[in-house]
Structure 1
Amino acid sequence: MGYLRVLRLHWVSIVSLCVAGALTAAIYILFAQPTYESRTKLFVSVQNSNNVSELQQGNTFTQARVQSYIETVGTPLVLQPVIDSLALTATPAQLSRMVNASTKNNTVIITVTAKDESPVQAAAIAQSVAESLINAVDQLETPQTGESPVRLSVVSPATAPEFASNPNRSLVLALGLLTGLSAGLAVAFLRTTLDTRVRNDRDVARITDSAILGGVAYDADAEKKPLITQVGAQSSRAESFRQIRTNLKFAVVSATSKTMLVTSSLPGEGKSTTACNMAIAMAEAGNRVALVDADLRRPMVANYLGLEGSAGLTTALIGSATLSDLMQPWGQNELMVLTSGEIPPNPSELLGSEDMTMLLLELEKEFDVIIIDAPPLIPVTDAAVLGQRVGGVVLVAGSEKIRTQDLEKSISALEFVNAHLLGIVLNLLPTKGPDAYSYGYYSYESKPVSRKNQQGHAGSKALSGSHLETRRRGRRQEASFDDISTEASSNNALRT
């Protein structure tokens, strides 16, 4: 856990609690009853000391007696005369809590301190207590015949203080800020400890050793413009998918199949838009790509690409039409799309059937790359069923959308069926804050391709077999997914 990251992530809470602590201290200062302290000092001495030896003995005697005089200050013998002279309503016991006497070691000076809500009254009490103590000591130390050997003298008269001793404004404010800061830091680290949301690649690395294929930053316009062809060619989103395309080149080196499955743990993590944009990016690199919408519960590919969705995968699986008749071209590159078709009552059974296996084998004969958009792993078993029939799985993880336990559960589900996890795509990464994701790209932006050109023949419901074959022959290129150009590899560094 990075301390700076925690501070940056929860700085608002920390600052808020600091301000709250300071405000609480200010309110306390504003409404607290001020208390004033006044002090007077008395010097204790021995009378009739004629030589040095007597002075030394007298000094030792007075130091021994000073503690007794301090204890005498809190007795009615000293305090009752003060109450009478100042006409106080307090009892001696109550007044004793307002008066304090002390001395320093090896000295004969007694300091009398009095507290009161009035500075003048505090000074009057301190002075009166000192005078009463002088009288009390004189009375206690005077023998039946003769004169008291001890004399107390006021060396520092009591004066009315200008400022209140309590509350101490600076101290109270400092304590308020310190308390607020401590509470803010405690809350920040507690929230970070309890927060199990996946935010960045470091969170993923703590869960799995699987490769991070790339990251896609959150874009507020993505809901209206989900495709990379709808934004500038050099936009950060387009660059992110070109980077994912390049990293996938290394991830599929050991794959035995051209087919890859794109799924997520939960709905709302962006797996359908990721599948569409991966297909577009790979087609732009010269690959013959087939995009299959196998999310037979909430199909979205047809909506994103503007294609006919009523006839597609389910139509082919039940034998109502041939695959070549159902594939729809999209855009100016070698991208063919097989939409979901009608939503069936038994998606898992259809996707796990032998007909689905034969369909994938047929697609692999004609295309360099087959990308399948599958349902999320946790709510249903469709993706796990398909994971056994493909060369690899790309798992999309939505930043702050998914928790670590859900990602762990998804990876475990893939491992249970022996699916090959190619890597993880981090989606919806924040653009601000400690987990901000950024990708350097050229400052200019290309014009988005018009929707009319994107869709190509989207208006037609089916593409005849002869038309499909003619287009394949005319547009066939030597490059395949395993032979992506060196230029693409050099321009898009492998992100780990």
Structure 2
Amino acid sequence: NGNAARLVLREDGSLNAALEAYRGLRTRLMRAQSKSGLHSIVITSSLPGEGKTLTTMNLGLCYAQLPQQRVLVIDGDMRAHGLTSMLDHPNSPGLAEILSGDVAPDEAIVATNQKNLFILPAGMVSSPPPELFAGTRWQEFLGHCGEMFKVILIDAPPILPRVDFELISAACDGIVMVVRAHHGQRERLQNTASTLDRKKLLGVVFNATDVSAKDYHGYEYGYGYGKD
């Protein structure tokens, strides 16, 4: 079993606000899950650099801290590999090999040092990502995971530059958008949200931080929702 090398959410005095924000997001998503029975949630953003990968990882940690909440976090951003870089063995087989039919899911899913938290790295891409997600294996794989995990969180590519997101989200139950707040993005947010399936849009996470990955003391997370 591998370990997630940089599990970034720590419960100490400096992170109380961030921790509570993630717990609040988890609560709202669990409420949506109980109403509609959704399992797979895509975490995305309009553009790169808005904090979607960190949000996905920390939300997964929050879910895993609850009893009987087996959670799978998937690196679906095969171009950036941001979540995969948090692993001890970033070159391990992953989602790309599963969708190519080269490995079985159980061979690629990695257990972490957090109970109930499992990660699937992006893997080594040999075909363009749209071709991998366009086949039937992606939907079949999510169905398989839905039988083993309470919730599946997918760190997806940004919405605007890539077609990958549309293919990934089509097979998933819900979408959460991450937005770096206070950067004059209201118009772009509205334009991006208008392209999404409103029935799947579970909410928007406003990420107000602008600090480096080595210093977590400045993180402030808020969250707003398009619907209750």
Task: Tell me if TM exceeds 0.5.
Answer: yes
Aligned to 2:165: 383
The reply on whether 1:366 has 2:148 as its aligned counterpart is yes
- Aligned partner of 2:208: which letter? L
Aligned to 1:291: 73
Aligned 8 A contact 2:207 2:220 in 1: no
Aligned to 2:25: 244
2:130 is aligned, of 348, 353, 356, to 348
Task: Sort the Cα spacing of 1:405 and 1:316 in 2 relative to 1 into closer, same or farther, 3 A.
Answer: same
Aligned to 1:313: 95
Q: Normalised by the size of structure 2, how large is the TM-score?
A: 0.82
SS of residue matched to 2:208: strand
Q: CA deviation at 1:232?
A: 2.3
Aligned to 2:205: 425
CA deviation vs aligned residue, 1:77-130 (integer Å, no higher than 9, x gap):
xxxxxxxxxxxxxxxxxxxxxxxxxxxxxxxxxxxxxxxxxxxxxxxxxxxxxx
Task: Sort the Cα spacing of 1:430 and 1:301 in 2 relative to 1 into closer, same or farther, 3 A.
Answer: closer
Greater relative contact order (Cα < 8 A, sep 6+): 2
Distance in 2 of aligned mates of 1:373 and 1:402? 24
Distance in 1 of aligned mates of 2:178 and 2:18? 15
Aligned to 2:3: none
Q: CA deviation at 1:243?
A: 1.7
Aligned 8 A contact 2:180 2:208 in 1: yes
Q: Percent identity?
A: 29
- Aligned partner of 1:239: which letter? E
Distance in 2 of aligned mates of 1:346 and 1:419? 29
Aligned 8 A contact 1:292 1:338 in 2: yes
Aligned to 1:394: 176
Distance in 1 of aligned mates of 2:127 and 2:55? 26
Q: CA deviation at 1:411?
A: 1.0
Greater fraction helix: 1
SS of residue matched to 2:41: strand
Distance in 1 of aligned mates of 2:103 and 2:87? 22
Tell me, which stretches of 5 or more residues in structure 1 are unaligned?
1-224, 432-436, 440-493
Larger radius of gyration: 1
Q: CA deviation at 1:255?
A: 2.9
Distance in 1 of aligned mates of 2:201 and 2:63? 19
Q: CA deviation at 1:340?
A: 0.1
Q: Matches of residues 94-243 of structure 1 in structure 2 within 5 Å?
A: 227-229=8-10, 232=12, 235-243=16-24
Task: Sort the Cα spacing of 1:430 and 1:343 in 2 relative to 1 into closer, same or farther, 3 A.
Answer: closer
Task: Sort the Cα spacing of 1:317 and 1:299 in 2 relative to 1 into closer, same or farther, 3 A.
Answer: same
Q: CA deviation at 1:273?
A: 0.6
Aligned 8 A contact 2:60 2:72 in 1: yes
RMSD: 2.6
Aligned to 2:214: none
Aligned 8 A contact 1:265 1:402 in 2: no
Aligned residues: 210
Q: Normalised by the size of structure 1, how large is the TM-score?
A: 0.39
Aligned to 1:322: 104
Aligned 8 A contact 1:296 1:344 in 2: no
Q: CA deviation at 1:430?
A: 7.7
CA deviation vs aligned residue, 1:240-263 (integer Å, no higher than 9, x gap):
211211121223333343110000
